[in-house]
């Protein structure tokens, strides 16, 4: 098979969904057919791999096996078959690589070896298919350019491919994914819509509408979703749908088990991926599928031709997802190479490397992921019960971070553990490395007003004033009211001052038959006075009741006479 017919296409711009942005760009990775893009938190993009059409964007057509900085001020990236797209912070888009079919969107059909401006603005993310590009604007509209021959731009059949972006008939879109010649859209309401080529009869339907019919205008496929990814080749394509409940469905080509349903049967209607546990993001490669769980373990199924699943391999396939990595927050996969982004910001690559797509400085395939660079440093702050912490995020080297612990009512902040110590709060630190920090809280057990109730008891349990012994001013202290079942914050709920209270203690001992005993009492355990004497035992328990009224402390004992 001609490798060019393998064409892939990738994904994954969905990552870091749980992290807030604090002045730095969210790092991102993207894998093309045989090249790789890396977006650092400082907004620079680094690129390596196949460069025959200028897709690396370094001003040459020379393959690169070490990432080279090609553009800056970037917030989103996408690597296609032979072209690359970059979204700047100002919403403009820049493109490099193969220009035929108009996929670069600059109005030309020429290849470019350095990024040129696309004729569009207001863009927040991009996706790349084989020979077309998708642009998601901040207003929820989607635009496209390049090949439309298979319906991938949601436009009717007819001659002429747009070489500048044209609007696709869909709105309220929050996420886009492009396959070989398919386009999928996630709308704000959780529905997924699809348009484009829908597979051959043997390879399943990547659009998941139950047919193999090409779709020329976006069509609703799913509801209740929070993520989507599609990839494929000329031979077939498959899609993953991430449901809002953390489960995943799949459809399309299943030649290597990439649908994860335990079979190698192509599907036309979405089926359940056999993976339990809450999944937070999904990604697809040409013949592989990836699932990142909430616990940051990475699971994969499909074809592991050269280690592209993230585990050593030489042609194995997996029809049920297996765990392949951990501490993963992002993954991108091309045809036979993959990129893994770990929670500490490090980037790892594996798979085919004949064009340098792994960026490890060699041209040698890697069956086991190799660390090649770092995209960012992270502050990962967590909190114990009793409070929250802010300052989480991604930073550039030597950025200043402010981390603040905020105790809940009734709790106190006790200090930092992990990579920080002490109890300074807020804490200002220099991010010289990724840090994991825990803010510790404890219940506030001080009793400032000396009423016998702790601060926690007063503000959380009883609603009383922690600086006032008698909150409601009814003449009874808070603790007294709590102990006697009255309402300490309601003056009309108050103990009856004239009520009679009688209390007694029961005193019992085993009296042996025929033995004489006496019972003594004491208030200090020192001086004992006889209370009763000449009690003759009968081999049974002797029981007495004594009042303690007006005698707040009395002890009793029985002795033999
Ligand atoms: Ca108190
Ligand atoms: Ca009080
Ligand atoms: Ca009171
Ligand atoms: Ca009261």
pLDDT (tens digit per residue) in 172-211: 999 999 999 999 999 999 999 999 999 988 789 999 999 9
Structure tokens at 468: 């006032």
Would you state the pLDDT for residue 6?
32
ω into residue 142 within 30 of 0, thus cis?
A: no
- DSSP, collapsed to helix, strand or coil, labels residue 461 as helix
Q: Tokens 């990432």, residue?
A: 67
pLDDT at 20 over 60: no
What Rg value do the Cα atoms of the chain yield, rounded? 36
Structure tokens at 309: 């699943």
Say how many Å lie between the CA of residue 252 and the centre of ligand 4. 70
DSSP secondary structure string, 317-333? Answer: EEEEEEEEESSEEEEEE
Asked whether the beta carbons of 535 and 510 are under 8 A apart, the reply is: no
Burial class (CB in 10 A: 0-12, 13-18, 19+), 366: buried
Q: CA 351, 93, 65: angle at the middle one, nearest 5?
A: 25
d(CA 231, CA 250): 12
Say how many Å lie between the CA of residue 329 and the centre of ligand 3. 55
With cut-offs at 50, 70 and 90, classify the pLDDT of residue 13.
very low
**Mean pLDDT for the chain overall:** 92
User: How confident is the model over 372-398, as a mean pLDDT?
Assistant: 90
With cut-offs at 50, 70 and 90, classify the pLDDT of residue 380.
confident
pLDDT at 14 over 80: no
Q: Which ligand is nearest to the CA of 491?
A: 4
pLDDT at 155 over 70: yes
Q: Which ligand is nearest to the CA of 495?
A: 4
Would you state the pLDDT for residue 550?
66
User: How confident is the model over 524-538, as a mean pLDDT?
Assistant: 94
Say how many Å lie between the CA of residue 470 and the centre of ligand 4. 8
Structure tokens at 96: 């490099």
Would you state the pLDDT for residue 351?
97
Say how many Å lie between the CA of residue 439 and the centre of ligand 1. 26
Write out the H or E segment, with its range, that includes residue 533: strand 529-536
Q: Which ligand is nearest to the CA of 476?
A: 3
With cut-offs at 50, 70 and 90, classify the pLDDT of residue 546.
confident
Say how many Å lie between the CA of residue 552 and the centre of ligand 4. 25
d(CA 257, CA 255): 6
pLDDT at 12 over 60: no
d(CA 512, CA 348): 84
Burial class (CB in 10 A: 0-12, 13-18, 19+), 229: buried
With cut-offs at 50, 70 and 90, classify the pLDDT of residue 498.
low
* DSSP category for residue 475: S
- DSSP, collapsed to helix, strand or coil, labels residue 187 as strand
Beta bridge partners of 142: 136, 168
Asked whether the beta carbons of 287 and 278 are under 8 A apart, the reply is: no
Task: Please choose, from the candidates 422, 419, 421, the residue with its C-alpha nearest in 3D space to the C-alpha of residue 431.
Answer: 419
Say how many Å lie between the CA of residue 475 and the centre of ligand 3. 5
Q: Tokens 């804490």, residue?
A: 427
With cut-offs at 50, 70 and 90, classify the pLDDT of residue 16.
very low
d(CA 455, CA 465): 9
Question: What CATH fold (topology level) applies to the domain 3-15+24-375?
Answer: Methylamine Dehydrogenase; Chain H (2.130.10)
pLDDT at 375 over 70: yes
Give the pLDDT confidence of 253-312 residue by residue, as tens digits: 999 999 999 999 999 999 999 999 899 999 999 999 999 999 999 999 999 999 999 999
Would you state the pLDDT for residue 554?
82
Structure tokens at 4: 């060019």
User: How confident is the model over 102-129, as a mean pLDDT?
Assistant: 98
Task: Please choose, from the candidates 379, 415, 371, 414, the residue with its C-alpha nearest in 3D space to the C-alpha of residue 395.
Answer: 379
With cut-offs at 50, 70 and 90, classify the pLDDT of residue 18.
very low
Say how many Å lie between the CA of residue 37 and the centre of ligand 4. 69
Q: Tell me the residues surrounding ligand 4 (ion) with CB < 5 Å.
A: 472, 474, 493-494
User: How confident is the model over 341-358, as a mean pLDDT?
Assistant: 95
Q: Which ligand is nearest to the CA of 462?
A: 2
Structure tokens at 175: 């996420």
Would you state the pLDDT for residue 25?
83
Would you state the pLDDT for residue 3?
30
DSSP secondary structure string, 87-148? Answer: EETTS-EEEEE--GGGTT-SS----EEEEEE-S--SEEEEEE-SSEEEEEETTS-EEEEE--
Task: Please choose, from the candidates 192, 195, 185, the residue with its C-alpha nearest in 3D space to the C-alpha of residue 152.
Answer: 195
Model pTM? 0.74
Structure tokens at 197: 């080529």
Structure tokens at 80: 């296609």
Would you state the pLDDT for residue 552?
64
Write out the H or E segment, with its range, that includes residue 482: helix 478-483
- DSSP, collapsed to helix, strand or coil, labels residue 164 as coil
**Residue extents of the structural domains in the chain:** 3-15+24-375, 379-443, 504-560
Write out the H or E segment, with its range, that includes residue 442: strand 435-443
With cut-offs at 50, 70 and 90, classify the pLDDT of residue 17.
very low
Task: Please choose, from the candidates 315, 212, 271, the residue with its C-alpha nearest in 3D space to the C-alpha of residue 263.
Answer: 271
Q: How many CB atoms lie within 10 A of CB 49?
A: 29
Tell me the backbone φ, ψ of residue 245, rounded to 5 degrees: -90, 10
Tell me the backbone φ, ψ of residue 273, rounded to 5 degrees: -75, 135
Say how many Å lie between the CA of residue 410 and the centre of ligand 4. 22
Q: Which ligand is nearest to the CA of 444?
A: 1
Q: Which ligand is nearest to the CA of 454?
A: 1
Q: How many CB atoms lie within 10 A of CB 297?
A: 15
Say how many Å lie between the CA of residue 554 and the centre of ligand 1. 29
Q: Which ligand is nearest to the CA of 472?
A: 3
Q: Which ligand is nearest to the CA of 489?
A: 4
Burial class (CB in 10 A: 0-12, 13-18, 19+), 114: middle
Q: Tell me the residues surrounding ligand 1 (ion) with CB < 5 Å.
A: 447, 449, 451, 453
Q: Tokens 């990129």, residue?
A: 339
pLDDT at 322 over 80: yes
Task: Please choose, from the candidates 516, 526, 530, the residue with its C-alpha nearest in 3D space to the C-alpha of residue 553.
Answer: 526
Would you state the pLDDT for residue 357?
98
């Amino acid at each position: 098979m001609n490798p060019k017919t393998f064409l892939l296409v990738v994904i994954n711009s969905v990552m870091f969904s749980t992290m807030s942005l604090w002045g730095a760009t969210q790092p991102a990775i993207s894998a093309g057919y045989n090249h790789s893009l890396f977006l650092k938190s400082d907004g620079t993009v680094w690129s390596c791999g196949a460069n025959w059409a200028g897709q690396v964007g370094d001003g040459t057509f020379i393959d690169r096996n070490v990432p080279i900085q090609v553009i800056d001020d970037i917030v989103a990236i996408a690597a296609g078959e032979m072209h690359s797209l970059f979204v700047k912070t100002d919403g403009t888009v820049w493109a490099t690589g193969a220009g035929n079919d108009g996929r670069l969107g600059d109005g030309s059909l020429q290849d470019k070896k350095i990024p040129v401006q696309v004729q569009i603005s207001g863009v927040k993310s991009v996706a790349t298919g084989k020979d077309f590009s998708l642009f998601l604007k901040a207003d929820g509209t989607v635009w496209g350019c390049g090949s439309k021959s298979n319906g991938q731009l949601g436009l009717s059949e007819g001659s002429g491919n747009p070489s500048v972006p044209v609007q696709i008939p869909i709105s309220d879109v929050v996420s886009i994914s492009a396959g070989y010649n398919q386009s999928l859209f996630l709308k704000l309401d959780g529905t997924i819509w699809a348009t484009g080529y829908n597979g051959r009869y043997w390879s399943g339907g990547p659009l998941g509408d139950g047919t193999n019919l090409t779709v020329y205008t976006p069509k609703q496929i799913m509801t209740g979703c929070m993520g989507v990814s599609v990839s494929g080749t000329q031979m077939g394509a498959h899609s993953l749908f991430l449901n809002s409940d953390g489960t995943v469905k799949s459809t399309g080509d299943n030649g290597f088990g990439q649908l994860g349903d335990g079979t190698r049967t192509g599907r036309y209607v979405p089926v359940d991926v056999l993976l339990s546990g809450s999944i937070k993001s999904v990604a697809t490669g040409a013949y592989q599928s990836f699932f990142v769980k909430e616990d940051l373990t990475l699971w994969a199924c499909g074809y592991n031709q050269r280690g592209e699943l993230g585990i050593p391999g030489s042609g194995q396939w997996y029809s049920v997802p297996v765990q392949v990595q951990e501490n993963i927050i992002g993954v991108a996969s091309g045809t036979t190479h993959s990129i893994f982004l770990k929670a500490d910001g490090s980037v790892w690559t594996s798979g085919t490397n004949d064009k340098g797509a792994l960026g490890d400085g060699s041209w040698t395939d890697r069956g086991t992921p190799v660390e090649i660079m770092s995209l960012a440093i992270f502050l990962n702050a967590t909190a114990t019960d009793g409070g929250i912490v802010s300052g989480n995020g991604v930073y550039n080297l030597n950025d200043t971070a402010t981390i603040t612990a905020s105790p809940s009512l009734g709790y106190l902040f006790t200090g930092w553990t992990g990579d920080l110590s002490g109890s300074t709060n807020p804490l200002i630190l220099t991010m010289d490395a990724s840090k994991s920090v825990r803010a510790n809280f404890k219940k506030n057990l001080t009793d400032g007003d000396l009423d016998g109730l702790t601060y926690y008891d007063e503000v959380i349990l009883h609603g009383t004033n922690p600086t006032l012994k008698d909150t409601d001013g009814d003449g009874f202290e808070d603790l007294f009211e709590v102990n006697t079942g009255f309402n300490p914050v309601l003056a009309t709920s108050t103990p009856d001052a004239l009520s009679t209270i009688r209390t007694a203690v029961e005193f019992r001992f085993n009296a042996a038959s025929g033995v004489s005993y006496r019972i003594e009492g004491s208030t200090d355990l020192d001086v004992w006075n006889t209370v009763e004497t000449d009690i003759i035992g009968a081999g049974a328990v002797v029981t007495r009741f004594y009042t303690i009224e007006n005698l707040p402390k009395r002890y009793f004992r029985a002795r033999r006479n």
